[in-house]
Amino acid sequence: MTGSGAPDAAAETDADAETAAEDLTGLYREYGDDRLPPGQRETDRFPVLSKSGTPSWDPETFAFDVWGAVDEPLAYSLSEFRELPAVTQRQDFHCVTGWSKFDCAFTGVEFAEIADRAGIGDDVEHVLFHALDGYTTNLSLDECTRDGVLFAYGYDDGDLPADHGGPIRVVTPHKYAYKGSKWVSGVEFLTEKELGYWEKRGYSDTANPWNEERYC
């Protein structure tokens, strides 16, 4: 028990973690003067949205795979993935349905770390993310290698909750959040573009929140 005059060790740990987080909340300046994109409303809540509900998964058999136009296909168990070099970043999160949540602390593996380990070919131009529920979403390689694109497994002070995409989700602070697959099970490196689930159904392929690129 902490005495009345003693520092709270848990509070110090939380403060240290917050200090260690890289702050990426200023990336909006690339697009203009407003942190909140047009047509968005700020919320303190973290609403749950998905195409078909939260899939079940077994931590003992879960696998994260990397394949396509790479020198070395990769496969990680969940424990192996969480042993890779990781970062914590404070990001803003923008949902295409019109809400934004500021100052989300995500912990995970940077996209560039996975790309470097796989050794991507010179002809790779696009990426397709695959999820446990069959969801897919695509981004150009250039967009994926920007700061902030993480395979996140931590949120704030704990594990990423299952309804928000745990055990691993992609976060893309410079895009609407449908570009960041929940429950991601792997990434495919492509030499030609392949549209993802929502992109095939009329959602914007570019998905820039500050240009309100919601739908085609």
Domains and CATH numbers, the chain: 39-44+57-202 (3.90.420.10)
Q: In this predicted structure, what is the pLDDT of residue 143? A: 97
Taking only the tens place, the pLDDT of each residue in 21-41 is: 899 999 999 999 999 999 999
Q: Where are the beta strands (DSSP E) in the chain?
A: 22-23, 41-42, 63-68, 74-77, 87-94, 99-110, 126-131, 136-140, 150-155, 158-159, 169-171, 184-190
Compute the distance between CA of residue 100 and CA of residue 42 in angstroms, rounded to an integer: 5
* Contact call for residues 149 and 119 (beta carbons, < 8 A): no
Q: In this predicted structure, what is the pLDDT of residue 105? A: 97
Q: Helices then strands (H, E): number in the chain?
A: 4, 12
Compute the distance between CA of residue 109 and CA of residue 132 in angstroms, rounded to an integer: 19
Residue 216's CB: how many other CB atoms inside 10 A? 10
* Contact call for residues 140 and 124 (beta carbons, < 8 A): no
Residue 86's CB: how many other CB atoms inside 10 A? 17
Compute the distance between CA of residue 117 and CA of residue 185 in angstroms, rounded to an integer: 17
Q: For residue 194, what are its two tokens?
A: 């392949």
Taking only the tens place, the pLDDT of each residue in 109-147 is: 999 999 999 999 899 999 999 999 999 999 999 999 999
Whole-prediction pTM: 0.88
Mean pLDDT of 57-81: 97
Mean pLDDT of 97-117: 97
Cis bond leading into 173, ω under 30°? Answer: no
Given a cut of 70, whether residue 199 has pLDDT beyond it is yes
* Contact call for residues 213 and 172 (beta carbons, < 8 A): no
Chain-centre distance for alpha carbon 91? 10
Residue 174's CB: how many other CB atoms inside 10 A? 22
Q: For residue 180, what are its two tokens?
A: 């960041």
Given a cut of 60, whether residue 15 has pLDDT beyond it is no
